[in-house]
């Protein structure tokens, strides 16, 4: 089965075929986005609302552009984190918005599971743009598209995900996606930044960076998520960079053509050396941003198609 879901809440329940379908369509949107005229009308007449209860630069901007390029009416609601009161506000706000009949609701929220809860309450398609440390499906999909285009395939690759894995929804979604597509995933970082239950994830775990990077095809760095830490996870940023910060010397242990990824925002000099992040021979960080727009176009296009198919079936039933 391809991607037939009503919502995009996570990678966890996607089949390899569904993932491939999203990526294939995204490839065609990369071509559109590189053309002088970037308009298509897959979402024409539809309303997209972006609700971000956490800060975002790239994700929000790219969902907005994606919707506009496909002809949707896009509204951005910037929700102040300070005004959230224990989830009730989220559901209330969603119900209010739902009454305005949007077709696509893009939601980022600091609580794991909140976006799935919201999806049960509304009648439109919901896309998870990051829920706490749980999932960030469009990030994993854009990372997958970047890897597939650079490496020519998305299977039988060795991929090291490095740094603050415990607090990272990007890592969680990527571990699931890359595992489903039959890659070898390694997690590299200090034991304090490994998630609990790491043994059940089907990955190899390293606390030595040089060993962890040996012969990998892809090095995926993560931001040290200080806002999700309550102290004591790392000795100091200097020490962290010394042991786990990616620089040319540590990267030399990976394959010669290994690519360097980071979801951004980056802490230069903490998890990654600034010069390496800008090295266009190794770093694909800007390409990830480009792929982000195309993947979000594909995801919203497919959700709109699924909603139309469901409506047709409803009429026929």
**In the complex, which residues of this chain contact ligand NCD (CB under 6 A)?**
58-59, 130, 136, 139, 169-170, 223, 225, 263-264
Number of neighbours of residue 56 by Cβ within 10 angstroms: 17
Q: Please write down the HEC assignment for all residues of 8-24.
A: ECCCCCCCHHHHHHHHH
Sheet of 47-52, strand order: 73-78, 47-52, 104-109, 125-131
Q: Which residue in the list 7, 108, 169, 180 is annotated as catalytic? A: 108
Contact 299, 31 (CB under 8 A): no
For residue 313, the minimal CB distance to ligand NCD (Å) is: 34
For residue 57, the minimal CB distance to ligand NCD (Å) is: 8
Q: Which is nearer to ligand NCD, 67 or 130 (CB)?
A: 130
- Both tokens of 74, joined, read 């896009």
For residue 273, the minimal CB distance to ligand NCD (Å) is: 17
For residue 139, the minimal CB distance to ligand NCD (Å) is: 5
For residue 101, the minimal CB distance to ligand NCD (Å) is: 28
Q: Which residue in the list 13, 86, 96, 101 is annotated as catalytic? A: 86
Q: Which is nearer to ligand NCD, 46 or 296 (CB)?
A: 296
- Both tokens of 55, joined, read 């800060």
Q: Which residue in the list 47, 59, 138, 146 is annotated as catalytic? A: 59
For residue 115, the minimal CB distance to ligand NCD (Å) is: 13
Is 86 annotated as catalytic?
A: yes
Is 180 annotated as catalytic?
A: no
Rounded distance between C-alpha atoms, residue 191 and residue 244, angstroms: 12
Q: Which residue is nearest to ligand NCD (CB)?
A: 223
Q: Which is nearer to ligand NCD, 48 or 173 (CB)?
A: 173
Contact 108, 54 (CB under 8 A): yes
Calculate ∠ Cα 109-60-50, nearest 5°. Answer: 65
Q: Which residue in the list 38, 58, 210, 268 is annotated as catalytic? A: 58
Rounded distance between C-alpha atoms, residue 288 and residue 283, angstroms: 10
Q: Residue 110 to residues 90, 132, 158, 292: CA-CA distances in angstroms?
A: 11, 4, 31, 21
Q: Which residue in the list 136, 172, 186, 296 is annotated as catalytic? A: 136
Is 6 annotated as catalytic?
A: no
Q: Which is nearer to ligand NCD, 46 or 126 (CB)?
A: 126
- Both tokens of 241, joined, read 């960079």
Task: For residue 88, report the phi and psi dihedrals to the nearest 5 degrees.
Answer: -65, -40
Q: Which is nearer to ligand NCD, 169 or 186 (CB)?
A: 169
Residue 251 parent element (H or E): helix 248-251
User: Which residue's entry shows tokens 């907005």?
Assistant: 64
- Both tokens of 102, joined, read 């949007």
Q: Which is nearer to ligand NCD, 58 or 149 (CB)?
A: 58
Contact 21, 3 (CB under 8 A): yes
Any idea which residues carry the catalytic annotation? 58-59, 86, 108, 136
């Amino acid at each position: 089965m391809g991607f037939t879901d009503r919502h995009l809440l996570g990678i966890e329940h996607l089949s390899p075929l569904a993932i491939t379908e999203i990526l294939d369509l995204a490839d065609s949107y990369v071509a559109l986005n590189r053309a002088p005229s970037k308009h298509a009308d897959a979402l024409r007449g539809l309303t997209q609302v972006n609700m971000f209860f956490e800060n975002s630069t790239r994700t929000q901007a790219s969902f907005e552009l994606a919707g506009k390029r496909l002809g949707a009416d896009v509204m951005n609601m910037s929700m102040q984190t300070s005004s959230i009161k224990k989830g009730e506000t989220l559901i209330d706000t969603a119900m209010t918005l739902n009454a305005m009949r949007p077709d696509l609701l893009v939601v980022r929220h600091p609580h794991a599971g909140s976006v799935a809860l919201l999806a049960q309450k509304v009648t439109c398609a919901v896309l998870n743009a990051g829920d706490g440390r749980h999932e960030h499906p469009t990030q994993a999909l854009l990372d997958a598209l970047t890897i597939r285009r650079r490496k020519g395939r998305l299977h039988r690759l060795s991929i090291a995900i490095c740094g603050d894995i415990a607090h990272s929804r990007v890592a969680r979604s990527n571990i699931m996606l890359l595992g489903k597509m039959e890659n070898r995933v390694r997690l590299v970082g200090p034991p304090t930044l490994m998630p609990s239950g790491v043994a059940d994830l089907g990955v190899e775990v390293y606390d030595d960076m040089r060993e962890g990077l040996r012969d990998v095809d892809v090095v995926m760095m993560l931001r040290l998520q200080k806002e999700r830490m309550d102290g004591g996870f790392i000795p100091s940023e200097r020490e962290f960079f010394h042991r786990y910060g990616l620089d040319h010397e540590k990267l030399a242990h990976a394959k010669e053509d290994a690519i360097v990824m980071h979801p951004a925002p980056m802490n230069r000099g903490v998890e990654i050396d600034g010069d390496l992040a800008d090295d266009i021979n190794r770093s694909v960080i800007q390409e990830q941003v480009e792929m982000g727009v195309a993947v979000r176009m594909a995801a919203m296009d497919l959700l709109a198609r699924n909603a139309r198919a469901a409506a047709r079936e409803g009429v026929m039933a």
